[in-house]
Amino acid sequence: MRKRCMNTIMSGSIDIQDEEEIDESLELLMQDYQFEQDLINSFNDQMYIISDAAPNPIWTLCSLTMRMVRILPTSEVIPVDTVSFNYTSDDNLIECLFGTNLVKIPKKYVEQGEWH
């Protein structure tokens, strides 16, 4: 019986018992030109996160699925219109992608982070 290396699998972590399978999957991904270009391009994007001052959690409506979405502080979001982000007042709602959800969040709760 194999001993499990991690007791709790949290977001972003993996169980190491399938390491060989992961290596093969990564090797296939790295052979894909489009994946490589997407990976390179992602390092040129500004990161936006939900501020610690935001309500915990923020509940908002997804305009695509028409379901309520829960967003926790320090979650990454992607403003749809990054050009006007700096010029919009803090009280305005801005459209953001959160995972696969399109939501509107008050700008005062969205912080610009580091570059990816």
Handedness of CA 112, 36, 9, 65 (dihedral sign): positive
Rg of the chain over all Cα atoms, to the nearest angstrom: 18
State the CATH number of the domain containing residue 57: 2.30.30
How many structural domains is the chain composed of?
1
Residue whose entry in the numeric block shows the structure tokens 């290396």: 5
Asked if residue 11 is part of any domain, the answer here is no
The structure tokens listed for 43 are 């390092």
The string of pLDDT tens digits covering residues 14-73 is: 556 667 777 787 787 778 788 778 777 767 667 888 888 888 888 988 888 889 989 888
pTM: 0.56
Mean predicted confidence (pLDDT) in 79-84? 82
The SS3 assignment for 50 reads: strand
Higher pLDDT, 16 or 95: 95
**Per-residue pLDDT, 5:** 45
Of 111, 116, 112, nearest to 52 by C-alpha is: 111
Structural domain of 61: 46-115
Of 8, 42, 9, nearest to 115 by C-alpha is: 42
The string of pLDDT tens digits covering residues 103-112 is: 999 888 888 8
- In the chain, which ranges are continuous DSSP H helix? 19-30, 33-42
Of 51, 40, 46, nearest to 85 by C-alpha is: 46
